[in-house]
Amino acid sequence: MQLFFHDVGISGADRDFPKTVFSSISLQTIEKNIPQHVKSEVLEALDREFISGEFNCWGVPAGAGSVIRQLEVGDVMLLIRTTGGDGDIPALCRVRAYWREQLAELSHALWGSARFPYIFFFKTESISLTWADLKEHVGYAPNFRPSGNVYRVRHDRLREFGGIEGYMNFITGRNRPTSYSSSLPIGYVSEPIEDDYQEGERLIRESSYFQRNPQLVRQAKKLYGNSCQVCGFNFENKYGEIGANYIECHHLNPLSERENTSANLVTNVADVRVVCSNCHRMLHRQRPALTIEELKLRLRY
């Protein structure tokens, strides 16, 4: 396993992250825009890796070819939105499919430009990591600037974390206590058991949406409070100060069950309910998701 990062920049990130990093792409989109000589190989791999038929992807410029050609399935790419101030790294991508050739037509279809032909596929894991933190973790100089490039992190720089996998555990929170806050949790899903797999993917998509729309989360909490609207659980009542103001948001019309168009991704507070972590997972245990009332009827006291 190798660790890479791509300094995208605010302009490119704000323009293109919503298209393919924080929104899913369908297999049909790929099929229409992939070269004939690799079409069957690509479609078979994507169909095998993403059983839901939806996934995320990212492309890097042809000028990064010397680095990106080292990328392999199983590697990790961190996407940097900005290095300004403390910086912002909102997405972790575990590569599940990648071909070392330029897919210019697909790049144009996805981002409106053929400039990003080296394309890899993954399911986005939303993280909360700053550029300042990453520099400190891997031992880069404080004044180091990646200047829009793609870099590979040497293995020895992550030795104190026990290697790359240990570092992934660290930044996704699996080896440290969860930090409760007024925003939605990261939504990381560890290696899934078979019948938890699609459920986990749906929760990642929901949590990513709410992380990018904190005002909606605040409105929901103001309207509904901080107690679960299914079972009544309140984190502050149970855990004290550490659970204050913590609750998760749930779409009544889950994003994963909508057509992937911008019009269908519009949400207001009337479309949202607040639920505890357990009830949130239970709502998504089947597709279509259970309603709030349906789950209430299943509660056992």
Q: What is the DSSP letter of 270?
A: G
- Dump pLDDT digits (tens) for 187-211: 333 333 334 434 444 444 455 555 5
Question: How far is Cα 128 from Cα 125, in angstroms, rounded to an integer?
Answer: 10
- Dump pLDDT digits (tens) for 234-286: 998 888 888 888 888 888 876 555 555 444 455 677 888 999 989 998 988 87
14 contacts 91 by C-beta, under 8 angstroms: no
Query: Residue 5: what pLDDT?
Result: 93
Q: Is the pLDDT of residue 126 over 80?
A: yes
- E strand segments, the chain: 3-7, 25-26, 54-60, 76-80, 89-94, 97-98, 118-122, 125-129, 150-153, 248-251, 272-275
CA dihedral over 101, 104, 108, 113, signed as positive or negative: positive
Cα–Cα separations (whole angstroms), residue 275 to 68, 132, 175, 232, 244: 41, 34, 25, 8, 14
φ, ψ at 57 (rounded to 5°) = -155, 165
Question: How far is Cα 271 from Cα 253, in angstroms, rounded to an integer?
Answer: 7
Instruction: Give the strands of the sheet with 118-122, arranged side by side.
Output: 25-26, 54-60, 118-122, 97-98
Question: How far is Cα 194 from Cα 54, in angstroms, rounded to an integer?
Answer: 17
- Dump pLDDT digits (tens) for 148-198: 899 999 988 888 888 888 888 888 874 443 333 333 333 333 333 334 434
Question: How far is Cα 182 from Cα 244, in angstroms, rounded to an integer?
Answer: 8
Q: Is the pLDDT of residue 72 over 70?
A: yes
pLDDT band at 63; cut points 50, 70, 90: confident
Q: What is the mean pLDDT of residues 10-17?
A: 92
Q: What is the mean pLDDT of residues 42-54?
A: 89
- Dump pLDDT digits (tens) for 78-123: 999 999 888 899 999 999 999 888 999 999 999 999 999 999 999 9
Question: How far is Cα 92 from Cα 130, in angstroms, rounded to an integer?
Answer: 12
Q: Is the pLDDT of residue 28 over 80?
A: yes
Cα–Cα separations (whole angstroms), residue 218 to 184, 237, 247, 283, 300: 10, 20, 11, 22, 30
Q: Could you tell me the domains of the chain? A: 3-172 (3.10.590), 194-298 (no CATH)
DSSP element (H, E) containing 253: none
Query: Residue 14: what pLDDT?
Result: 92
